Structure 1
Amino acid sequence: MMQGRVNRKREAIISIVIANQNRQSKKRINAVIDTGYSGFLTLPNEIITALSLPWAGVERGTLGDGSEVTFDVYGVKVIWDGTYRDIPVCESETDPLVGMRLLYGYDLQIQAIEGGLVTIQTLD
């Protein structure tokens, strides 16, 4: 089970550890849960560069306003529910976002008040 909190901006936040492919560089980040994002995870270029993440290609996406964009995609390891997982991460100059592909197979509960508990646990 993973837990986080709702912040003052009414965002559901969880803390996760990400690493490069050989796990030599690690970083703990706070990420916003975004159920409107269908990907795994977004990271800004600063974090991608600091961890020397390998480029994996490009991906097209549709933003909330309907506009189409192209994202550079990198490979990252994330500790998710206590286990390292290899996932693609899209470069985006926003706060890191956790999307529905990373949440797939889990139960997400949010106490939608400032300081409220965010709980993510497997559906197994």
Structure 2
Amino acid sequence: MMHGIVNSSCEATISLVVSNTNRQTHLIDAVIDTGYTGFLSLPREIIVTLNLPWTGFDRGTLGDGSEVTFEVYAATIIWDGQYRNIPVNEAETDPLVGMSLLYGYDLYIRAVEGGNVTIKPVE
């Protein structure tokens, strides 16, 4: 089970450890975005700091209907106490956790500032 918090902007957030192939790590606070179907997005600054390996491109549709192309990188995160290799989309926003990472988990949000965010495996 993982825990996060609802921030002052009413965003459900969770802290994640992201690492590269050399196990260099970076702690991030990510916003949970149920409209994002990818795994994780990170800004270029974090991708460069971790020297994440580039794996290709991905296409996506934004909330306004426009289509974009993302650069994709490989990363390892600690998810539910386990190392997990995932694709990361480069995006100049706050880091986002998407539905592909949440797949197979229940998400509970107490939607008030300071409210608890709980992510646990589907039973």
What is the TM-score with the length of structure 1 in the denominator? 0.98
- Indicate whether 1:66 and 2:84 are aligned: no
Aligned equivalents of 1:14 and 1:104: distance in 2? 16
Aligned equivalents of 2:112 and 2:27: distance in 1? 24
Aligned equivalents of 1:113 and 1:10: distance in 2? 7
Q: How many residue pairs are counted as aligned between the two chains?
A: 123
Aligned to 1:12: 12
Deviations 1:50-95 (A, max 9, x none): 0000000000100000000000000000000000000000000000
Aligned to 2:100: 101
Aligned to 1:2: 2
Where does the alignment leave 5 or more consecutive residues of structure 2 unmatched? none
Where does the alignment leave 5 or more consecutive residues of structure 1 unmatched? none
Name segments (4+ residues, structure 1) moved above 2 Å.
none
Percent of paired sites with the same residue: 66
Aligned to 2:56: 57
Aligned equivalents of 2:36 and 2:60: distance in 1? 10
After superposition, where does 1:33-44 map in structure 2 within 5 Å? 33-44=32-43
Q: CA offset at residue 22 of structure 1?
A: 2.7
